[in-house]
Amino acid sequence: MKTLHVDLGSRSYDIQIDPGLLDRAGEKIRTVCPKAKRLFVVTDSNVGPLYYDRVKASLERSGFSSSSHVVSAGEHSKCVTELEKLWEDMMEAGLTRTDAVVALGGGVVGDLCGFAASTILRGVDFIQIPTTLLAQVDSSVGGKVAIDLAAGKNLAGAFWQPKTVLMDPETLNTLDDQTFSDGMAEVIKYGCIADKGFFDFLCAHPSRTEITANIEHVLYTCCDIKRSVVEEDERDTGRRMILNFGHTIGHAYELAGNYETWTHGQAVSAGMVAAVELGVKLGVMEHNSEIATLSDLLRSFHLPTHIDCDWATMEKAVGLDKKSEGTDITMIFLREMGQALPTRMGKKAVLQSLRAS
Ligand code: GLY
């Protein structure tokens, strides 16, 4: 078992990574929620049938009673209608302030369940059991929870740290290749922004089979980078912005495809290449040979390195970006591979440079 401690004072917690951990979820949760009697498990229509019975059996072995709430799989469930149903169901199940809620699934389940946990009864304990690669390396760690609004993704949310994050790498074996690749975009991002050695390791293991053979090392390395960033900037006002490498331009690609044509991972993949190209063009990154290395690595996981986007959509996405302040935006470039370079720029200058590309 590999364990990482996220040090956030009274909101500190452990990330635990171990094959077969699903069957020990109850004992792990008992140590962080000693008073809880009931656990309310939120899952989705894909993950529930695969793993809920095992988790429930483990919870019962540790003396918890449990209820489950299943949402339909997909981003459409991260909405205010599902949140309201979830709140009502939690109350119907008899959830009290000493009980806890458990997110069993990918990023949608974690975000929806976490936001419900942050608000129900003015906040109850919350446990993350992420089952996708993207959720394990990114969304389950760091306490960002949210739902989408018509105005945009993740616009209503909170910072609500979990009591623990339980990762069973064996759950990744049931992911389809596309969903695995989506997670790989975020894995590759960590190498780009913070760890050249890890980036080189990924280049030397450019297939799902090779990554799976080293999955605990991959999960640990990504979560360790995220841990250090979140410890330094829990509320996302400074260093945490580096986690958005590839995301500003990526959001434009997601928007251009109406959130249907391109997955988040695909959009981030092409967004990272575009950000590096822009960095080279602006002279903040010297060696444009990195573009080819990054593109080859992304392609080996069947991720796109270029996405067409109309100009109006690009302007809208850059304008709406959550890292913008007035007329400025913090773009995340790379000083070199393995070293993120946050750069405050006028939005107009970003758009002009992108347009001239
Ligand atoms: N996914 C970006 C963050 O947690 O800040």
Task: Give pLDDT tens digits for 271-317.
Answer: 999 999 999 988 888 767 889 999 999 999 999 999 999 989 988 88
> What confidence score (pLDDT) does residue 326 get?
78
113: alpha, beta or left? (left if phi > 0; alpha if psi -120 to 50): alpha
Average pLDDT in the chain:
95
Quick one: 136 and 159 in the same domain?
Answer: yes
234 lines ligand 1 (CB under 6 A): no
28-42, 185-199, 226-240, 248-262, range with the lowest pLDDT: 248-262
Quick one: 121 and 237 in the same domain?
Answer: no
Quick one: 352 and 289 in the same domain?
Answer: yes
> What confidence score (pLDDT) does residue 16 get?
98
Quick one: 170 and 184 in the same domain?
Answer: no
The band of 323, judged by pLDDT with boundaries at 50, 70 and 90, is: low
Q: Kindly tell me if the per-residue pLDDT of 321 is higher than 80.
A: no
Residue that finishes a domain, picked among 156, 174, 192: 174
Residue of 141, 160, 226, 233 to test ligand 1 pocket, by largest number of atoms within 8 Å of CB:
226
Residue that finishes a domain, picked among 174, 189, 209: 174
What DSSP state is assigned to residue 75? Answer: G
Span 33-46, average pLDDT: 97
> What confidence score (pLDDT) does residue 356 get?
75
Span 83-105, average pLDDT: 97
Measure the CA–CA gap between 188 and 184, rounded to whole angstroms.
6
Tokens encoding 101: 């809620």
Q: Describe the crossing of helices 264-282 and 289-300 by its angle, rounded to 10 degrees.
A: 170
Q: Kindly tell me if the per-residue pLDDT of 349 is higher than 90.
A: no
> What confidence score (pLDDT) does residue 354 get?
83
> What confidence score (pLDDT) does residue 351 get?
86
Sheet with strand 339-346: strands edge to edge: 324-325, 328-336, 339-346
236 lines ligand 1 (CB under 6 A): yes
Beta strand spans in the chain (E): 2-6, 13-17, 38-44, 65-71, 100-105, 125-130, 144-149, 152-159, 164-167, 324-325, 328-336, 339-346
Share of the chain above pLDDT 70, in %: 98
Span 152-158, average pLDDT: 92
> What confidence score (pLDDT) does residue 317 get?
84
Quick one: 139 and 12 in the same domain?
Answer: yes
Question: Given the DSSP bridges, would you call strands 164-167 and 328-336 parallel, antiparallel or unpaired?
Answer: unpaired
Minimum-distance ligand 1 atom for the alpha carbon of 226: 4
Measure the CA–CA gap between 232 and 228, rounded to whole angstroms.
6
Count of domains observed in the chain: 2
Does this model's pTM top 0.85? Answer: yes
Quick one: 163 and 44 in the same domain?
Answer: yes
Contact 78, 84 (CB under 8 A): no
Measure the CA–CA gap between 233 and 80, rounded to whole angstroms.
28
Span 315-329, average pLDDT: 78
Q: Kindly tell me if the per-residue pLDDT of 14 is higher than 70.
A: yes
Cα(162) to centroid(ligand 1), Å: 14
Residue that finishes a domain, picked among 174, 206, 233: 174
> What confidence score (pLDDT) does residue 318 get?
81
114 lines ligand 1 (CB under 6 A): no
Residue 81's domain comprises 2-174
> What confidence score (pLDDT) does residue 146 get?
98
Span 82-110, average pLDDT: 97
205 lines ligand 1 (CB under 6 A): no
> What confidence score (pLDDT) does residue 266 get?
98
138 lines ligand 1 (CB under 6 A): yes
Quick one: 138 and 182 in the same domain?
Answer: no
76-80, 252-256, 268-272, range with the lowest pLDDT: 252-256
